[in-house]
Chain A
Amino acid sequence: MGGAIMVTMPGFWLVQKRKTPLFHDVFHLPTRTDFDARLVVGAATFGIGWGLGGFCPGPALTSLLLAASGTLFFVPAMLVGIVIAKYTAAPLPKTLAV
């Protein structure tokens, strides 16, 4: 994580000096900075799932291509969870074009 932050902090700062991305019209960045119950519950649920499954979504998908046994159960469950969340959550835009 430290390695990623060392690259992304100066990288994001430099990139956002541009008015637009190279191949797109706008930057899609989160605009909300407040905490609410939805954020806290969502983050906690994510953490519990990570702890129970032993994977976070990115490594789970890459491990799926290597046919790691745990991911064969974890990834389908994750996809079902995402679809359920999309159908049940209130339709709030999470990002706005800035």
Chain B
Amino acid sequence: METEFTPFASLLGGGIIGLSAVVLLATQGRIAGISGIVSRILPPSVDKAGLPRDHISDWSAARGTALVCLNWSCACSNGFKQWVAISHRWFAGRVWCGHGEWLHKRPWRMRYLARISAVDCCNHDIYGHCLCDCFCFATCPGGLRTCVYSAHSLQVFCLGWDLFCLEWRTPQKFRTSLICLAHGIPALLS
């Protein structure tokens, strides 16, 4: 397939990809290799493959990648300005989610949160996305609102899967996971 030679756009695109790799390393401590990320969410599980058990980070990385992919597809179909607007709201969501992960990773700083488990961390993530959805419904115009809502629904779906994998034996968590999975289905179909 013959493609047009676009040196500046290509350089800018490469720079953005590089920036995303740096952000992933700075926030999650992981290398942005998409085949590795995809590999981690496929069977057999990380335990059976002899890799360190690290569901939350793996899923976070996978979710981040899914969102980057979604953002790129929005960029292709709707133009750069909308992509920037979506990324900015996505970033706000990640900051909130990062806060949830921070609470989970550093319970010693807040003793009353010492009982926070990985599942509660997922819950923080879900609250963050619900908050972002409300914010987006209040501020975004129609088409963009659909894009942002789909992005967050996709993340809530992933979180539901997290919950299901980690705590399916607990009835309350099992119900929550089903609700999250149901919430995300329209995003997967859209």
- A interface, CB within 8 angstroms of B: 1-8, 11-12, 15-16, 18, 20-30, 46, 54, 57-58, 61-62, 65-66, 78-79, 82-83, 85-87, 91-95, 97
User: Is the CB of B165 closer than 8 A to any CB of chain A?
Assistant: no
Contacts of A87 on B, CB cut-off 8 Å? 44
CB contact between A57 and one of B31, B34, B48, B77 (< 8 Å): that residue = B34
A93 touches B52 (CB 8 A): yes
CA distance A44 to B83 in the complex (A): 36
Judge if B186 is at the interface, Cβ distance under 8 Å: no
A12, B25: Cβ atoms closer than 8 Å: yes
Q: Are A11 and B19 in contact (CB under 8 A)?
A: yes
B44-A3 in contact (CB<8A): no
* B84 interface residue per 8 A CB criterion: no
Within 8 A of A (CB), among B21-67: 21-22, 25-31, 34-36, 38-39, 42-44, 48-52, 54, 57, 60, 65
Chain A residues contacting B105 (CB-CB under 8 Å) are: 23-25
- A3/B22 in contact, CB under 8 A: no
Q: Are A86 and B26 in contact (CB under 8 A)?
A: no
Question: Which chain A positions have C-beta within 8 A of B42?
Answer: 79, 82-83, 86
Kindly identify which residue among B12, B25, B76 contacts A15, using a CB–CB cutoff of 8 Å.
Answer: B25
Q: In the docked arrangement, what's the CA distance between A22 and B14, Å?
A: 24
Q: How far is the CB of A40 from chain B (nearest CB, A)?
A: 17
Task: Give the 8 A-B residue pairs with the shortest CB-CB distance, closest first.
Answer: A3-B14, A91-B50, A7-B18, A11-B22, A21-B29, A4-B18, A65-B73, A3-B11
Chain B residues with Cβ below 8 Å from A12 are: 21-22, 25
Given A3-B14, A4-B21, A21-B25, decide whether A58 and B49 contact each other with a Cβ distance below 8 A.
Answer: no
Interface residues of B in 59-99 (CB under 8 A from A): 60, 65, 69-70, 72-73, 76-77, 98
Contact A1 B102 (CB under 8 A): no
A15's closest neighbor in chain B, by CB? Answer: B26
Provide the residues of chain A in CB contact with B73, threshold 8 Å.
62, 65-66
Q: Given A12-B22, A62-B69, decide whether A23 and B14 contact each other with a Cβ distance below 8 A.
A: no
Q: In the bound complex, do residue A3 and residue B18 qualify as a contact, i.e. CB atoms below 8 Å apart? A: yes
